[in-house]
Amino acid sequence: MVTSTITKASFMAAAGLAIGTLNLTLAEPVHAFDFTGSYTPANFTLTNENADGFVDTSGAPASISITGGDNGSFFSGSTKFLTTAAAAGLVSFNWNYSTLDGPFFDPFGFSLNGTFTQLTDNNGGQLQSGTALFNVLLGDVFGFEVQTVDNIIGSATATISNFSAPEPIPTPALLPGLIGLGVAALRKRKGEALAEVSEEA
């Protein structure tokens, strides 16, 4: 009876240790910093809608630049560089913007599931900068977008840096080891309990 009670208690303690450590590991948020991991430039897609914009990834992983359209059509268009969220969490980045045409005619911002959120100020200068913060869910499509009102008199360029986005939580590498330690502790305590019973007898 004593052996059974000690064995159960030891098992519960070992399991508690493993689960507690697992919970602490899972509680830590995981992010890709700069354009790395799930968010390398190769995992983004460039899309132009009535635009001839492009993306320069030569500064990656530290930064990328997106340039909007200027195809001379006199009609509006957009240039997007989009990816899919690999996990739920916060996306953040710094941006530096420049335009020859004026910010009203070539606004920059981010796109989230097809909705454009403008970051530039229409009444601001031709050089602007700032920081963006927004949340995504697993599978959301998001990225950067430069729009053009008229596709003439020059395009706008935005450089994105200090990019951070959520990554999937990896399987804890320590969990098998923790379970092994728990089993070893359980066997040791079981042996000690049996020894005590033998001595009492």
Tens of pLDDT, residue by residue over 137-168, are 999 999 999 999 999 999 999 999 999 999 99
Q: Which domain holds residue 23?
A: 2-29+171-200
Answer yes or no: pTM beyond 0.85: no
CATH code: domain of residue 96: 2.60.120.200
Q: Say whether both 37 and 16 belong to one domain.
A: no
Cβ-based neighbours of 119, under 8 Å, separated by 6 or more: 95, 97, 108, 109, 110, 130, 132
Total domains present in the chain: 2
What are 57-93's pLDDT values in tens digits? 999 999 999 999 999 999 999 999 999 999 999 999 9
